[in-house]
Structure 1
Amino acid sequence: MGHLSREHNKSVKFNARFGVLPYKQDASEHWVCVYCHKTYLEFIQFKRHIATHFMNFSCDKCGTTFISDHALRDHRRQVKCFRTAYKPRNGRVMKPRTNAEIILQCSTASPFRTWKSNFNCVFCRVQTNDPSTLRSHIATRHENYDVQTAFYKKLGKEFLKIDITDLQCKLCFMPIQNFESLTYHLKNDHQQPINSDAQLGVLPFKLNNGSIWKCTMCPNEFKDFVSLDKHTSEHFQNYVCDTCGEGFITESAMIAHTKIPHENKYNCSRCVATFSTLEERNIHVKTQHTSTPYMCVYCKDKPRFANWELRKKHLMEVHNYKTGADKYECATCQKSFKTRSGKYNHMARTHRIKKDTELNYPCHSCPKAFTTQLFLDKHVAKKHFDV
């Protein structure tokens, strides 16, 4: 139909039903579905299958689906499907397809999942850091995959990640530029039963060759996929916690979040202050840390400074900070260390000097002392096990 419209200028109405059921046989005389490429030996089996791609009219009482609106009206007029004992003619009630299932069934969108820096196939153990390789793998190894298997067990109720690079409609083979155009095209041009009031159930990404990380929903661009993934989910966070304002994609995730206490949950990254809501922390940062962005992380009270030079001066005067390879000097023996933790451990072990705390747990068998009972017990078990 797309070829007739593009190449021969035929007036094809893509927003209307084509009115035909396409049948096809291969060289082995097997019946082949032109939509999902499944093959059947018996024509009766194939006939039942091909009809499922056109079941766009469903009964709101029993869920049975039909090819035409006329068949649905006939069903409503003659069948008493509101009775609990009613059984559909095909022996089962077909469950309505979700939005995500329709998108996978009718487009070239490629499902995937991630693990660390790799992109994983949702059907097998193949993983790679090259999105092009993964798309090629799915197209060749899992070309006729069952849509239901794309929603792997660990996904739960979370949204499925899909790659919409080189996106096309499988029903008319028309190239689609973006995700929003895809859902509009499937619903209006092919009368697919996409529910606009429900969530789509997928997170769309254009992975390309892995060098550009751009959001498919807005013009924002990011340095890596992790940042893009976090940003993309924000476009689908339709559930918001009333207490802290944090957003979630699914209602179940929000309910699980609300069960966690919110008291002093959010910490200020610039000082020791804690807050119960994100809004309180944001107000604190804007009012307290705008003019003094540089903080000393070594002092207990976390003093702040207006510029780097002032903080550097403070580090040199108070914490014996030096420039060069050995930046930290012991105030007792003047021995230098490359890291603050090296100097800290040296002073605690050699000079029995512990910052902000005391060695309150002495060993009764030797002169050593420790900051916690756990460290003392480990020491006794290792050094004085015979006592």
Structure 2
Amino acid sequence: MEDNNSNQNKTITSEMEKHKNNIIVILQNTNATPFQRHSDIAFACCFCKNQYLNPKELKAHTLNDHNESEIKEICKRKNLRYYLMKLDVTDLVCNICNEGISTPQGLFEHLEGHGKKIYTDMGSRIIPFRFNTEKHECAICSEVFCKFKNLREHLNIHFKNYVCKFCDTGFITLGLLASHEASHNFGTFQCDYCDKRFYTCKSKKIHERLLHRDKIEEKLMTQDEDNDKESDNKAIDQAKVEADSSANLGVIRLHKMEKEKHHDNILVVLENTNATPFGKCTDTGYDCLLCTQKFFHPKDLKEHKLTTHTTDEFLSLCKQERLRSYIVKLDITGLLCKICNNRVESWDNLFEHLENHGKFIHRDINNHIIPFVFDSDNPLQVCAICAIAFHKVKLLREHMNTHFPNYICDVCNAAFITERMLSAHIQCHKTGVFKCGLCEKSFKTYRSRRAHEYMVHVKSNHASRCGFCKKTFKSYAHKTEHLKTVHGVILNELRCSVCDRTFKSQPLLTTHVKRDHLMERHYKCNECEKTFFNKIYLKSHMVTHTGIRNFECEVCKKTFAWSKILKKHMRAHMDDRSFKCNRCEKAFVQKLNWQNHMRKKHNEEVS
């Protein structure tokens, strides 16, 4: 038994040495540079941990500041189980012949042509990335992703070093495989720190990591076990996981079938109705899921899909989606049954209507097919189920979580359509002290830190982007004005249902309704009985009690309690007569004097 373990350890050591040899040959003979990723925001140097927002800056730093002797140290103390080397192969050039290497696949062959020893009798752990576009493009198949995280997950397809025994999904490292297989470990798992129970081992671990972080850290600090005992425990735990996985194989297969049931349902709907799927909705219009075309009006997209694309094309696209993020957005405007040519009045009746025609619908799964109705005469987006209106499709899409509560947050009971949406939401409950990796600021929540890093360090406070020309703006209001003046796109203004006032954004409308119609007054003065809508109004009011007059006129030294009063006063010194009578051409400094003039001289009330 000891001989077998010894041979296995030698094999692992030998394989690790081969990986080290390959990476050293590449780094010494090409301009490829290793990197690490920090919080999906910055790029970190593998040698000195310096961080750079731009991968070009990191490449220049690595090539100029680090020498060959450091390269051999880069792989030390790495465990083969987790060994992975991310390489930036942008504009890849061989240092020996100064020729460009067009594809990562030809890299090994090129170096072997120069007499360099490359081991190819094992799975590759050297993962290429190319950063020559704004989006994240796969260096192997050129598929584009909106996030670096999605690209990293995609690369498991190209490097199937380890394959899941339950679903045949491939992974680059054994560590990634072990983490994935935990999601197949079904049963009843109770939290080690509270009474909550979970359907999967992975859900339990996520819950513990987010809500019991302090207790976990305390437990780790008090542990005094040696490395051998810890290794034995890990081996025992792994054996238990494998045993539980085997015992629950039947449950796992049922889980795999759930996605097939979703495919069956969407196939029935698309083949027998005029409902049409759509992708993202931005300032530039609605995206077709099956090609690169965009349509400003959803009815044009519906006509395009029905005349250009087949149902089989869409289903093949759906099969690429993971179940945890599986969602189909359907335009059901003017919903018609192709079998009987009758209108289907509501989404709730659709499945029953199709079943009456003998079509089979799977009812034993959560529904991930989300309906939308687009009325060209109504500038607002109306929910297809409850008829509540929203200014944007994004707000309506978030509202649909309430109608399809497939996954529930254990902390606040918020509902979500997909498991992926729930996972993103859970981040708002992750509290503590989170330091920005690029400046000295700290935040109370993980989500706040991520938002800060993205807005301040990545986008430099220019997060609003025009969908037509990709120009960025500091605020949504600036982008709206740009769309209107440059591209001729006029976004619908929001109208108050009580007084018909219009607003450019939902927050402005919400504030107006709460302040002027609902009369919300949550801030009370400690000196008197007056109440105010927000802290700013309360702070302004407090001057009447304190008598503080911090704003002084530089001309006459008169002081004022509020800056706006000082500004009005300064107009008298500058003889700024902005208020003009349109009848007798008299002009006034003060608005009140202008109003009195219009009322007394011309019998007209002005505001």
Give TM-score scaled by structure 1 length: 0.48
Q: Which has the higher contact order (CA 8 A, sep 6+)?
A: 1
Give TM-score scaled by structure 2 length: 0.32
